[in-house]
Amino acid sequence: MVRHSSRIELSQSSLTNNINFIRKKIGEGVRISSVVKANAYGHGIRSFVKMAEKAGVGHFATASAFEAEEVLDAKSDSSDVMIMGILYDEDIVWAVENEIEFYVFNYERLALVLEAAKKTGKQAKVHIEVETGANRTGLTKVDFLPTLAFLKKHSKEIAFKGLCTHFGGAENFSNQFKINMQHERFKNFLKQCHQKNIVPEIRHIACSAAALAYKDTVYDMVRIGVAQYGFWPSPDIYYSHLQEIGKQSDGALKRIFTWKTDVMDVRDVEAGEFIGYGTSYQASQNMKVAVMPLGYSNGYPRAQSNRGHVLIKGKKAQVVGLINMNLFMVDVSHIPDVQVGDEVVLVGRQNNNTINISSFTQVTQLLNNEMLSRLPSAIPRKVVK
């Protein structure tokens, strides 16, 4: 196999640590659904699913049927897959046939699900998502009673696997009133289930932030994305954890991701010369630069031009000039004896230095997700200890 221009290493021990930490937080008897949408937040869905199974996870949530198909390929027989988002009408039969659980958020869909169950001879497994205040997807109050009646009538063909909703902004305490309102509305839906005597097998509403900071939102299952990858959902959630354990800082969650490449070329640049495209960087003295074999088309953000850093021989080397489509340069004047082929860390640790994802995106976790999820799936992922 020809070598790719960069590689991503995933730490099994860090993931196991994170899953165990989350387990301790949510308590016994609560199932973790590992959210692996967006190529497992850029970590690589196939490698990640296998790693999560090693850490004891047996349930995976995706945003699309397309992603679910990848999970199906990678997972062991005993794990379950759940589609939270897009499943086209023409793929419902495929989902039922493969025993994939999926969200239903409008009443009309149920007739198609029933049809698919009859056609395949298999029971469909649906999670009814209810509208509680995020106003994206979710069944409204008006449609809920007919839905319950339908599920009751066709319980042989359709399993009422779950009742769920999603919080719009649980990571910020300033949204607490909204989260509380959403939770109250969810409880009302649940009450109606009991009144009509048709109850879901499981209830699940908490994402990472809610699972870590709002204990009362932890029902039978939690849907964990960002935290399992080793990121606190926000400073609010981190500080509430510190308060809970009475400490000043805590390394309970560990990043599992390291992104590496190798020095492609090393060259001397004379004072007064410009580096790369245009004139955005001019050498003010004689310098030595190392060429990196990747650029913005490989997921390395163009915004890092003239300001990002990489690690070579454990030392920080600053990006000089613009990030090109497939190349960029770094200043290694201060690092002795840099050679072609030397390992470069783009994100992660080398010796005693670290480049964080947050140094790319300046603080907000949402942007962390954005940066990670845009890493091309073509970059090879390798699981390490």
Ligand X SMILES: *Cc1c(COP(=O)(O)O)cnc(C)c1O
Least distance in Å: CB of 127 to ligand X?
A: 10
Tell me if residue 103 is catalytic: no
Cα distance between residue 170 and residue 214, in whole Å: 9
Our CB check for ligand X shows the closer of 230 and 233 to be: 233
Least distance in Å: CB of 188 to ligand X?
A: 20
Our CB check for ligand X shows the closer of 61 and 292 to be: 61
Q: Which residues are annotated as a binding site?
A: 136, 325
Which residues of this protein are in contact with ligand X, per CB under 6 A?
A: 35, 37, 84, 166, 207-209, 223-227, 233
Cα distance between residue 158 and residue 67, in whole Å: 23
Tokens of 120: 């395949």
Least distance in Å: CB of 10 to ligand X?
A: 17
Least distance in Å: CB of 341 to ligand X?
A: 37
Our CB check for ligand X shows the closer of 35 and 256 to be: 35
Residue closest to ligand X when measured from CB atoms: 225
Q: Catalytic residue among 37, 125, 161, 260, which?
A: 37
Tell me if residue 37 is catalytic: yes
Least distance in Å: CB of 20 to ligand X?
A: 17
Q: Which residues are annotated as a binding site for substrate?
A: 136, 325
Tokens of 243: 């308060």
Instruction: For the chain, report the end-to-end CA distance as a whole number of angstroms.
Output: 23
Cα distance between residue 264 and residue 134, in whole Å: 48
Cα distance between residue 108 and residue 297, in whole Å: 41
Residues counted in the chain? 385
Our CB check for ligand X shows the closer of 63 and 264 to be: 63
> Residue for token digits 């997972």?
75
Q: Catalytic residue among 239, 247, 277, 382, which?
A: 277
Our CB check for ligand X shows the closer of 114 and 134 to be: 134
Give Cβ neighbours of residue 6 (< 8 Å, ≥ 6 apart): 259, 260, 261, 293, 294, 298, 346, 379
> Residue for token digits 């088309």?
297
Tokens of 376: 């091309």
Smallest CA-to-CA distance from 319 within 342, 339, 289, 298 is with 289
Tokens of 226: 């960002």
Q: Which residues pair with 164 in a beta bridge?
A: 129, 204
Tokens of 370: 């954005």
Q: What is the longest distance spanned by two Cα atoms in the chain?
A: 80
Active site residues: 37, 277
